[in-house]
Amino acid sequence: MSNLVKAIRIEKNGGPEVLQLVQIEVPAPGDNEVTIRQHAAGLNFIDIYFRDGLYKNPLPHGLGFEGAGEVTAVGKAVTRFKVGDRVAYGQSPIGGYAQARNVPAAQVVKLPDGISFEEAAAMMLKGLTVQYLLRQTYRIKEGETILFHAAAGGVGLIACQWAAALGVKVIGTASSPEKAALAKAHGAWEVIDYSKENVVERVLELTGGKKVPVVYDGVGKDTWMTSLDCLQPRGLMVSYGNASGAVEGVNLGILAAKGSLYVTRPTLAVHVNTPEKMQAAADELFEMVLAKKIKIRIDQRYPLEQAGEAQAALAARKTTGATIFTLN
């Protein structure tokens, strides 16, 4: 293989049109890196935040944090991997949209034989996120009822299945009857169409007036207030994303007024910031997938040339489940 590979790069922030398909030279891996020939890479909403400038990185830069493939070279200090290993990652320096790249070995895990490269590229970032949300940020318990927004999305469909496997009732939200049906088919107990229905009233009804102990909210701005109103006293608001825009200008008094609520704004990076934490979270995720308790649903596949279209579809709420780029 030549060291020259296709990759996506941006030189300025903006819409999907700023994505450029370029040829890049993949250098020899650094001492603590591995070179991965990627078979597939994942698309995530965070890629859009970095493209449009909501999240900042010095320009120019690549895009993407999730991928899977084979190790083709290892750095001098790397002991956990060898050439030919099947591997995947869901946190990395920015630049996953590429046919090959170098990634710090500390962020990479070996892929079990029963999981394909495509599944891995669709689930590492999203599945590890669900692992920490449901098992660390708030450890959901059998018999509980929780609210999870955007339940038919990439993160959402994994969350519905994981929670159902733990005996937890998920009240999901979605913006169409088709998306609601999909979330239900993946384990959601009930799904509210938040484009039409009153979420707070429906949550009160479904929980017999009790509301929920935790809300997982990746939608952000549009659902912030609704989410707080669905929480029991001393409940936890997990605001983990901004699909509709960032939550800003919050007066802390609102948490008092709505029942001594807790709020957290977590990131995956902090939860998997050592090889041990990464491996432990990945092991739990792999176990769920290998046991077929979680099926990784890839509803959109694109070549790298169409990265702009892929991002536009995700931003326009036209996708369900995961989107991947097929690469080699």
Ligand X SMILES: NC(=O)c1ccc[n+]([C@@H]2O[C@H](COP(=O)([O-])OP(=O)(O)OC[C@H]3O[C@@H](n4cnc5c(N)ncnc54)[C@H](OP(=O)(O)O)[C@@H]3O)[C@@H](O)[C@H]2O)c1
**What does the binding site for ligand X look like in residue numbers (CB under 6 A)?**
44-46, 125-126, 129, 150, 152-156, 174-175, 179, 218-219, 222, 240-244, 266-268, 314-315, 317, 319
Please identify, using beta-carbon distances, which residue of 5 and 219 lies nearer to ligand X: 219
Please identify, using beta-carbon distances, which residue of 24 and 243 lies nearer to ligand X: 243
Cite the beta strand spans of the chain per DSSP E. Answer: 4-10, 20-25, 33-43, 61-62, 67-74, 86-89, 100-104, 109-110, 145-148, 169-174, 190-193, 212-217, 231-239, 262-264, 298-302, 322-326
* Beta-bridge partners for 236: 214, 262
Q: At closest approach, how far in Å is the CB of 196 from ligand X? A: 12
Q: At closest approach, how far in Å is the CB of 244 from ligand X? A: 3
CA neighbours closer than 13 Å in the CB half-sphere of residue 177: 0
Backbone angles phi, psi at 75, to 5 degrees: -70, 160
Please identify, using beta-carbon distances, which residue of 81 and 162 lies nearer to ligand X: 162
Please identify, using beta-carbon distances, which residue of 46 and 103 lies nearer to ligand X: 46
User: Which two three-digit tokens encode residue 94?
Assistant: 């920015």
**Radius of gyration over alpha carbons of the chain, in Å?**
20
154, 162 in Cβ contact below 8 A? no
* Neighbour order of strands in the sheet with 4-10: 20-25, 4-10, 61-62
Q: At closest approach, how far in Å is the CB of 98 from ligand X? A: 19
Please identify, using beta-carbon distances, which residue of 30 and 299 lies nearer to ligand X: 299
Please identify, using beta-carbon distances, which residue of 35 and 92 lies nearer to ligand X: 92
| Cα 185 to chain centroid, rounded | 20
Please identify, using beta-carbon distances, which residue of 174 and 327 lies nearer to ligand X: 174
* DSSP type of residue 105: G
Q: At closest approach, how far in Å is the CB of 169 from ligand X? A: 19
71, 36 in Cβ contact below 8 A? yes
Residue 69, Cβ density class (10 Å: 0-12 exposed, 13-18 middle, ≥19 buried) = buried
Q: At closest approach, how far in Å is the CB of 136 from ligand X? A: 11
Q: At closest approach, how far in Å is the CB of 2 from ligand X? A: 32
Q: At closest approach, how far in Å is the CB of 221 from ligand X? A: 8
228, 260 in Cβ contact below 8 A? no
CA neighbours closer than 13 Å in the CB half-sphere of residue 293: 16
Q: At closest approach, how far in Å is the CB of 192 from ligand X? A: 10
Please identify, using beta-carbon distances, which residue of 23 and 198 lies nearer to ligand X: 198
